[in-house]
Amino acid sequence: MSSKAPLRMRATWRAILIALILIPPNCYWIAQVEGVWDKGHSTCMSLMWGVVFNLLILILINILVLKRFFPRHALTQGELVTVYVMLSLASGVAGRDMLQILMPALGWPFWFANPENGWADLFHRYLPRWLMVEDPGALRCFFEGQTSLYRRWEYVLPWLGPAFWWTIFISVLGFTMLCINAIVRKQWAHRERLTYPIIQMPLAITENGGDARIFRNKRFWIGFAFAGALDLMNGLHYLYPFVPHIPVSYLENQFGYLFTTPPWNAIGSFPFPLYPFAISIGFLLPLDLSFSCWFFYLFRKGQQVLSAALGLQALPNFPYLNQQSTGAWIGLFLVALWLSRVHLKDVLRKAIRGDRDVDDSEEPMGYRAALLGFLAGFSFLVLFSWRAGMSPAIGIPFFLLFFVFSTAITRMRAELGPPTHEIVNMNSGNMLVDMLGTKRIGASSLTVFPLYWFFSGRGYRGHLMPHQLEGLKMAEQIGMENKGLVPAIILGIAFGSISSFWAYLHVSYDVGMASMRIGHSGQWNLLASRLNNPTGTDLPAVGFIGAGFAFTLFLMFMRTRFLWWPFHPAGYALSMNFGIDYIWSCFLISSAIKWVILRYGGFRTYRAAIPMAFGVILGEFCVGGTWAFLSFLLGKPMYDFYHG
């Protein structure tokens, strides 16, 4: 007697509609709080507090209203997860490292060109006008503000074409990432059993439609009360200075001033942040990663001191930290590729020969569709870039490197889940300049690089690909069909782009983009420098890329051969770049706490402490998010619990 397979939850159109309704105000919130006031920085986190804040409001409505008075219409966990995934992707598009970078770039080289910088003669002829805005009236409204987006239609029209084409580009970019995720998901989730730390709390609070066990745990509320009280007190201090204040920000805890004599002054900035939520997320991470992050941060500072002691800092860019980081991420990608080699052979057998022994029925798309989708998406991106002025000889390696970095970052998030991962200036453009030199790349291709800095270069903190994979894992975890999330993911990205264009135009026409701290002059100045001073291959830079790659392989070799080896190569990749400065000491504290608990209390005690860590995270997100929400309602800045 055969039994029917259990019915699986699907992404409902009701959940998708709720997310689409929430995306525009959420993007406007990000534009106002992060863009205008330079506060909050939810999109700089792996677990975006703004999305969690929205999710908690939905959970409250679900528990207090829908479940009580309309139980048949209450939201399920699958629907809450769908909303969470779509809001995360839309927030990533609107975030600090995407549209906040792209929007000013579209008009910056026209508005700020002058005889002194010579931009008009130097590179204006290479700029893709169909992707940019050069109308003087539209740019005046955008950069100077003091008007309304809805007052002069002729000043809005110049933005429509670029907004359309960039939305298509961003949607295809996101779709191509999704195809890669469909190919690797089974390997990482089932064969390697990666832990996906970032999704633990969203899954816990959405259980049973929000009526979750975690909310009945006393340790959860102890952690919540501690973190909430801290943010409440610091928020009141921001308004009323006589209220006591506990400094937690990296801006408030700086110790670089203690190192004043050579070679120690080469340490430079030396923050010691104490963010409770970051300590709690660090507590959830594997101990070897949290240890490796702060160890290699100090290792990086040691390189700077040693370089000064040996007189090597006089050399440009020494000790080539960005290049070390670049090599490390390439190494992590190749390690992931090697570990997946059997699975990838299965994927190719299914995609090419239709092998029935390979089951892809549980994937968001079949392996053949995923492979063809990746090839189609990649081809579109290269052709789009060719039309913009980047030759295919540069476009092909540019996007290959981008997806190498993206896949490595996504795997790192799936395995290790750090609170943030800002990887500054590690990008395809800089690596190609190091390897080929600006002479071989050419002026036309170089001119496209600043326009692509928004997705390949600024920091990767709100990267879309990890959020996609985490969404697919959440769906699988709760017995939800992966395929049903595909339209939700694409709609979240596309509508997030449209909403973000509207939000940034709205606030820019009001206050002026030039007054906001999200300008784009650096990349255009860099372009001018590259065109004025053509270079060839930078051999030392290439050498340090190779050194970072080789050291990563060495760390991985030692990790696989010796169980006692404490150094994780992802910690080296993260810490050779700037972003770890925001949280390194949080990892120091969390790894110490976790080591003590595991050493003297065992795994059972550690498991018992997890609800308290969830409480601390949610307490900060609730109270800190409330301050940001009040700033949005009152129209003025409030306390910022995380200045990322």
* Per-residue pLDDT tens digits for 51-79: 999 999 999 999 999 999 999 999 999 99
279-315 residue pLDDT tens: 999 999 889 889 999 999 999 999 999 999 998 877 7
**DSSP reduced 3-state for 271:** strand
Is residue 157 domain-resident? yes
> Residue 337: which of 553, 129, 543 has the closest Cα?
553
Inter-residue contact 274 to 579 (CB < 8 Å): no
Whether 2 shows a pLDDT value over 80: the answer reads no
DSSP 451-513: HHTTTTTS--TT-HHHHHHHHHHHHHHTTB-STTHHHHHHHHHHHHHHHHHHHHHHHHHHH-G
**In the prediction, which pLDDT does 155 show?**
85
- What's the average model confidence in pLDDT over 260-285? 92
Inter-residue contact 284 to 417 (CB < 8 Å): yes
Range of the domain at 127: 13-210+317-566
Peptide bond before residue 466 is cis, with ω within 30 degrees of 0: no
**Long-range contacts made by residues 162-169, C-beta under 8 angstroms, separation at least 24?**
162/106, 162/130, 162/131, 162/132, 162/133, 163/497, 163/498, 163/501, 165/130, 165/131, 166/102, 166/131, 166/497, 166/501, 167/494, 167/497, 167/498, 167/501, 169/381, 169/384
State the CB neighbour count (10 A cutoff) for residue 20: 19
- What's the average model confidence in pLDDT over 625-644? 84
Say which residue, 641 or 500, is predicted with more confidence: 500
First-to-last CA distance in the chain? 59
Is residue 622 domain-resident? no
554-585 residue pLDDT tens: 999 999 898 889 999 999 999 998 878 889 99
Least confident of 217-231, 349-363, 486-500: 349-363
Helices (H) and strands (E) in the chain, counts: 26, 0
Whether 137 shows a pLDDT value over 60: the answer reads yes
Is residue 95 domain-resident? yes
Is residue 223 domain-resident? no
450-496 residue pLDDT tens: 999 999 878 899 999 999 999 999 999 999 988 889 999 999 999 99
Confidence of residue 514 (pLDDT cuts 50, 70, 90): confident
Q: Which residues of 596-622 are buried (b: 16+ CB within 10 A; e: fewer)?
A: ebeeeeeeeebeebbbbbbbbbbbbbb
**In the prediction, which pLDDT does 89 show?**
98
Query: Mean pLDDT in the chain?
Result: 92
Whether 505 shows a pLDDT value over 80: the answer reads yes
CA distance 638 to 644: 15
Is residue 172 domain-resident? yes
**DSSP reduced 3-state for 622:** helix
The pLDDT > 90 percentage for the chain reads 77
Residue length of the chain:
644
**Whether this model's pTM surpasses 0.75:** yes
Number of domains composing the chain: 1
184-198 residue pLDDT tens: 999 999 999 999 999
Is residue 306 domain-resident? no
CA distance 202 to 614: 10
Count Cα neighbours of 265 within 13 Å in the Cβ-side half-sphere: 4
> Residue 202: which of 46, 381, 344, 409 has the closest Cα?
46
**DSSP reduced 3-state for 534:** coil
Identity of residue 36: V
CA distance 425 to 436: 17
**In the prediction, which pLDDT does 520 show?**
61
Q: Which residues contact 453 (CB under 8 A, 6 or more apart)?
A: 101, 105, 427, 429, 520, 523
Confidence of residue 153 (pLDDT cuts 50, 70, 90): confident
395-435 residue pLDDT tens: 999 999 999 999 999 999 999 888 888 888 889 999 999 99
